[in-house]
Structure 1
Amino acid sequence: MAPKRKGPLQSLQRETDDVRKMVDALEHDAAQPSGRDEADALQRCAQLLSTVEDQLRTAEKLTKADEPAPVGNYERRKQEEEERLRGLHARLRAVQRGIKPAEAPQPSTSGKARSTSGPGEVGESEEEDSEEEDESQEEEVVEEEEDDEDGEEEEEDDNDNDGGVSDLARPETQKKTLSYIALSTFKGEQDGDLAIEMGDVLQILSKNADGWWLAQDSKGDKGLVPKTYLKAQTEQEVEEEESEEEGDEIDKESKSKSKSPHSNWDAVRKAITEIDATDVLSAMGAIPAGFRPSTLSKLLDEGVTFRGSRYIQPELSQSNLSFKDLFLDPDTGKVRARSSRVCLSVSLWTCRMVPSPGVGLQVLSRHVRLCAFNGSQVLSNIHTVRATYNPKSAKTWSFSPRMSGQLSSLLDGDCFLRCDSDSPDLGILFELGVTYIRNSTGEQGDLSCGWAFLKLFDASGAPVPLRTYELTLHGGTPYETDVEMDPSMTRRAGAGSVFQQMMASRKVPKLVVKLRTPNHRNMSHLNLLPDTLVGSVCSVHLLALYRQLLADTLLLDRVTMQNADLICSSVLATFPEVLDQSDLLDALRSSWENAEKNLKRSEKRDMSILKREFVRVYMDYVFPLFYSAEMPGPRWADEEVANQRARIIFNANPNILSLDHAHQPFDISQVTYDLLISARH
């Protein structure tokens, strides 16, 4: 039965099936003894090579997060699809060299084994294996939700089916599908475990549903190893064989094909042998088994979609003729308060037993990113809180509550979350991450050190209690639920006496957070904000003042509600960017605190005076910093840039607009607010 879902992986599988049929036809035509048009065959071969190369690149870039719905055994299916494409590429290379892989010998009646020297027999075995893989792919797409135990039965069936094919005639990629390489050293925790060293090549004899696989090493010893310590070795073996066995042949071929406009083998070879940076670090033993590239950091790097500067903007209604979340109270002239489905204060307390990266990596930042999440989609902006770290307690991260004065809001562990999503699975996603730099290459990247999901509503739809939660950290990405940070630790926690289980559970990585209702003052400010927003509590009063200025300008000062002309307002034009630059937000917060001290009690209750003073402080201390020629652009986890920006901000004063300071060339966007571009649709 055809699957209902059409995800990227399934689409790639169908495209590969189509290419395989065209390769079969090309092999058949190339094998004809007469009437063969070599120029036409070469052109078709080059076109198919280019198609396979593109599909290989597409396959390597696919991730589980791209799928519209959960896919069982995703990584194995993706790997098998890549092997199919490499097999097709090998067949096309054979055709291009003049070999006839589709020419099959007549069945022998003497029962003798097939000769391995005949190219026709190798092509026939590859074709049979490709058909077997196609049938296996179709069965797996239909049975997506099978568990690991069912997957083991399918694998045993595939092995039984392969029994009729000679080992000598079977393609190399088929023989190595059960070969794995150890990513890290595992000494064994209990009787029956197999001790392995990093780099050992293992044969997997069976795959258990609990994640512990029965393996055999090169010495013949057998035992259990955690699956997260292993990586399929097919790509590495292909690379070694091509470099060792083909040798001079590849050099000659690359030289001859570099002159041919129909060959892109060099690009394909690079795509095949390219290894993800995380895989390299895992093989080096530089990161624990559960670490992955940071999912939320990647989303932040893709643009402003998940940044606070976008979510602080007003949202247009469905007709685009009014606003959905910004209204004025006609009696008071202030922004009308709006309640959201979720409005909570979230305090980060500590992270315990967090694994640390190994040697060879310098950690530039330890942080937690949080957002509203429903299990499949990020529903809000992504907010980042940096953790403090003591080298004497390497596995403990701490957070600072209630920031004030000159202290950075980036360290503020007291956050707020507003979200108006009606999803029954609405919750908070926490991702622990590190920004690192490799000492050997200088390469910088972001890794996830584990994630946790706190669901905010129970099965009946009632809100969860507001209390302190100890959340167990999971390995992998938020779209994977079966990856453990440390499989051996989890196994020990579930075995032995009650005391041993208690001691082992204390070593499981956990994040401690507290949910509570915001106090009355903060709640009054939060209700003036957009329906969905995540941020630091220390900046709530500034966001509320900005929303009041926004409402006055958009709802009172415009000639008509249908007028979309440019609005002259430097504050509205640049303030959202302050949310993406925490040091500028700190400068505004500190300057506003000093200005408030000089206001009388009666002036603090007068909204018109507060708005006027807020604009003055912003234009004197923050706005000039945006366009100062001396101010470097923000760079995450770059200490040198951060120190340079801090010196300029600290020395800023109202005279920064004088002729003594250099500024960037003037642009109209610096002082104008474009409603059509800025408002969310």
Structure 2
Amino acid sequence: MPPKRRGPLLNLQKEADGLKTKLDKLLVDVNQLDEQNRADLRQRCCELLSAVEETTQALKKLTKADELAPVGNYELFKREEETRLQDFHNQLRALELNLQSPETSEASERLSAQAPAGDQESDEESEDEEESEDDDEEEEEEEEGDDINDELDAEMERVVAISAFKGEQDEDLSMEKGDVLHILKKNKDGWWLAQDSKGNKGLVPKTYLKAQPLQEEEEEDEEDDESEKEGDDLDEETKNKRSSIHSNWDTVRKAITEIDATDVLSAMGAIPAGFRPSTLSKLLDEGITHRGSHYIQPELSQSNLSFKDLFLDPDTGKVRARTSRVCLSLSLWSCRMIPPPGVGLQVLSRHIRFCAFDGEQVLSNIYTVRATYSPKNPKTWSFSPRMSGQLPSLLDGECFLRCNSASANLGILFELGVTYIRNSTGEQGDLSCGWTFLKLHDASGALIPLRTHELILHGGTPYETDVEVDPSLTKGATGSVFQQMMMARRVPKLIIKLRTPNSRTMAHLNLLPDTFVGSLCSVQLLALYRQMLADTLLLDRVTMQSADLICSSVLATFPGVLDQSDLLDALQSAWENAEKLMKRSEKRDMSVVKREFVRVYMDHVFPLLYSADMPTPHWADEEVANQRARTIFTSKPSSDCGHQAFDISQVTYDLLSSARH
């Protein structure tokens, strides 16, 4: 039987193994370096360097189509070989510079001491490279090797480690938080080849790195100018060295001061490397800009003399329906394979936040739905759990999205998050456990099919596209196609379903602002509020230019109820009970419906908003939530209870401060 033919990639792998053997032999001979064989060793080094470069070029030209038979995980194998050859190239380049100087015997001994250790030799080679560069600098940087080093340093990108990383494999590079590294090569799998200040080289996860900001580079330039003014008697080389020392220290100092709790947790191993501080949670904490209470308000036109999205139909006297470019309902089903935080963290809430997004900015309010899970299967999150009675809106996964943006990249941004508390310090924070973006239009501009979608979750922030939630799941992934399929099942995913709302729900949705996100169970209440806004702002005002305060407790306080889901549930329950008692003819009479809505609101919700017994809402605080629930369910419309100090804003609607601009 004839021997099995090898493919081009396997042949180059064998060739690289041969180059490694020659490199090991060269390192052993360098240990016995003397002036007589220096020229011979340098010649061998140059020839081997040329062979490595030729092999690297041949490897880059290879494609999967060149193989004689299918190769599983072809790109990963090819990338690993490129990294190995690049490491050979760096070692030989450093060795070539060492052989140029006659005072490198001590460095050569350290360089070759680890030659038999196989995969660990790259780190030792890097130490020798650093010492050889120091020797060259001590000789007043007059030799050609220093010029080559300057060119290499200019090409390498400088980054800062935002957290410590301890190498798990021989080719990894350990680093401490604040270390300044130079990036030698950026691999597509997220593991970059880097070099630290001591010359050590290895692979580090890109999620642990932060690019040096431009501001730091400007500060370095300013320090260079100050150095030149203060020391005119110093030569240029001394100034450059002093500037480099100052700039490196500033970089380290700034990186250390910017390290947040997430970096500490990541360094401790308490969270996966792909977890980040929650982006959408931070936007919600910045103010009311991305809250439902802001987006439910009418939007002023460009002249600020009329409204852009609130009009009356003269024939019916109702709010004129407006059709948005995108109006759909979505069901949150489940999240799978979500890695839980590690030891030392207590999870207070698992939730998902979503909004309209165009890849650059948030286009709508941000809506939050709480997830449920079983301790027996903590990696699976579920929504809309089965329960008796009315489902709280915070747990209801039946939602809607309206957006009138004309952006071709319009879509829905989903961010999975957890609110945690550290057992050791009591510190509370919000983490992003992954995000995904569902683009709503295809290349032709048509709306995507409204069906069930399985969306792969990414790590990092919504502005990072190549970060994994847990890089350890795919690091060094090799094997057959079957093994790759099994690994694909371990990828975190979000499962949702898009569909078209029914005619009754669509009629209510068309009365809402052009851009809004919320729960389907509250659509009718939102539509009633918009009807009352239209009546008050478009009919009851003396003139359209009047900006006087309007006496209406409902208009003034209802938006705040949208930011307190338990009060919205109380209003929803009370309104359903009131509707059951209304006659069919009364339900068709809008004046009767609005009057009944005001009565229900003022009896059941308004007193709770300013009750002295009602604690201020606090996200993911179970004790506060239970106390608020007791106050809501035990209060009665006719009961006497303490109230907060009166403020004029409780009963007056201020158009100028409330309307969106």
Same topology, TM > 0.5: yes
Segments of structure 1 that go 5 or more residues without pairing to the other structure are 1-110, 114-157, 236-266
- 3-state secondary structure, aligned to 1:389: strand
Instruction: Report the counterpart of residue 680 of structure 1 in structure 2.
Output: 660
Output aligned runs, 1:59-78, within 5 Å. Answer: none
Answer yes or no: is the 8 Å Cα contact 1:182–1:231 preserved in 2. Answer: no
1:209 maps to: 187
Counterpart of 1:662 (choices 626, 639, 642) is 642
How far off is 1:562 after superposition? 1.5
Between the aligned partners of 2:565 and 2:545, the Cα distance in structure 1 is 35
What is the match of residue 334 of structure 1? 318
Contact 1:370-1:431 at 8 Å conserved across structures = yes
Q: Deviations over 1:374-422 (max 9, x none)?
A: 0001000000011002111111110007999543100111110000011
Residues 401 and 516 of structure 2 are in contact (CA less than 8 Å); yes or no, is this contact kept in structure 1? yes
1:438-517 maps to which residues of 2 (within 5 A)? Answer: 438-491=422-475, 495-517=478-500
Cα shift at 1:372: 0.4
* Identity in percent: 75
Distance 1:579-1:405 versus aligned 2 partners, 3 A rule: farther
The verdict on how the C-alpha distance between 1:676 and 1:203 changes in structure 2, with shifts beyond 3 A counting, is: closer
Q: CA deviation at 1:450?
A: 0.7
What is residue 574 of structure 1 aligned with on the other side?
557
For normalisation by structure 1, the TM-score amounts to 0.65
Please state if 1:316 is matched with 2:297. no
Distance 1:402 1:424 in 2: 38
Equivalence map 1:101-120=2 (5 Å)? none
Q: Does 1:600 align with 2:597?
A: no
> SS of the residue aligned with 2:473?
helix
With over 3 angstroms needed to count, the CA separation of the structure-2 counterparts of 1:166 and 1:467, relative to structure 1, is same
1:553 counterpart residue number = 536
Distance in 2 (CA, whole Å) between partners of 1:391 and 1:511 is 19
Change (3 A) 1:176 1:565: closer
CA deviations over 1:498-543 (Å, ceiling 9, x no partner): 2112111000011111111111111010000000000000100110
Offset of 1:497 from its aligned partner? Answer: 2.1
CA distance 1:624–1:489, shift in 2 (3 Å): same
Alignment of 1:128-277 (within 5 A): 166=137, 183=164, 187=168, 194=171, 206-210=184-188, 211-214=190-193, 226-228=205-207, 273-274=256-257, 275-277=259-261
- Cα drift, residue 630 of structure 1: 1.0
Equivalences for 1:92-107 in 2 at 5 Å? none
* Structure 1 residue 552 displacement after superposition: 0.9
Deviation at 1:486, TM superposition (A): 2.4
Match for residue 564 of structure 1 among 529, 538, 547: 547
Q: Secondary structure at the match of 1:654?
A: coil
Are residues 1:394 and 2:378 paired?
yes
Aligned to 2:88: none
- Please report how far the alpha carbon of residue 489 of structure 1 lies from its aligned counterpart in structure 2 after TM superposition: 2.6
Distance 2:297 2:358 in 1: 23
How far is the alpha carbon of 1:635 from its aligned partner? 0.6
The structure having more radius of gyration, on CA atoms, is 2
Q: CA deviation at 1:609?
A: 1.4
Counterpart of 2:310, as a letter, is L
Cα gap change, 1:159 to 1:680, in 2 (>3 Å): farther
Contact 1:587 1:621 in 2 (8 A): yes
1:492 offset after TM fit, Å?
6.2
Residues 349 and 513, structure 1, Cα contact 8 Å, conserved in 2:
yes
Structure 2: which amino acid aligns with 1:454? L
**Unaligned 5+ runs, structure 2:** 1-100, 104-128, 142-152, 217-249
- Give structure 1 regions of 4+ aligned residues with deviation exceeding 3 angstroms: 158-165, 167-170, 174-188, 193-206, 213-218, 220-233, 267-273, 401-406, 490-493
Q: 1:440 to 1:296 in 2, by over 3 A?
A: same
CA distance in 2, matches of 1:670, 1:178: 52
The answer as to 2:277 corresponding to 1:293 is: yes
Distance in 1, Cα, partners of 2:337 & 2:166: 20
Residue number in structure 2 paired with 1:375: 359
207-216 or 662-671, larger mean C-alpha shift: 207-216
Instruction: Report the 3-state secondary structure (helix = DSSP H, G, I; strand = E; otherwise coil) of the residue aligned with 1:469.
Output: strand
Corresponding residue SS for 1:630: coil
Instruction: Give the corresponding residue for 2:614.
Output: 631
In structure 2, what is the equivalent of residue 242 of structure 1?
Answer: none
- The equivalent residue for 2:527 is 544
* Secondary structure of the structure 2 residue equivalent to 1:620: helix
Q: 1:560 Cα shift?
A: 1.5
State the alpha-carbon separation in 1 of the partners of residues 162 and 516 from structure 2: 44
Q: CA RMSD in A?
A: 3.7
| Residue in 1 that maps onto 2:344 | 360
Distance 1:159 1:678 in 2: 63
Q: Deviations over 1:152-193 (max 9, x none)?
A: xxxxxx9999789627999xxx999789698466756xxxx6
Q: How far did residue 601 of structure 1 move?
A: 2.0
